[in-house]
Amino acid sequence: MSQGTVFDKILDGELPCHRVYEDDQVLAFLDIAPLAPGHTLVIPKQRRAFLHELDDEVAAALGRALPRVARAVMAATGVPEYNVLQNNGSSAHQAVFHVHFHIIPRVGEHGLGVGWVPGQLDGEEARRLLGAMHASLASEA
**Which residue among 39, 98, 100, 102 is the active-site one?**
100
Active site residue 110: no
User: Do 29 and 18 touch, CB atoms closer than 8 A?
Assistant: yes
User: Do 120 and 92 touch, CB atoms closer than 8 A?
Assistant: no
Give the span between the Cα atoms of 34 and 14, in whole angstroms: 21
Which residues touch 121 (CB under 8 Å, ≥6 apart)? none
Give the span between the Cα atoms of 54 and 20, in whole angstroms: 22
**What is the set of active-site residues?**
100
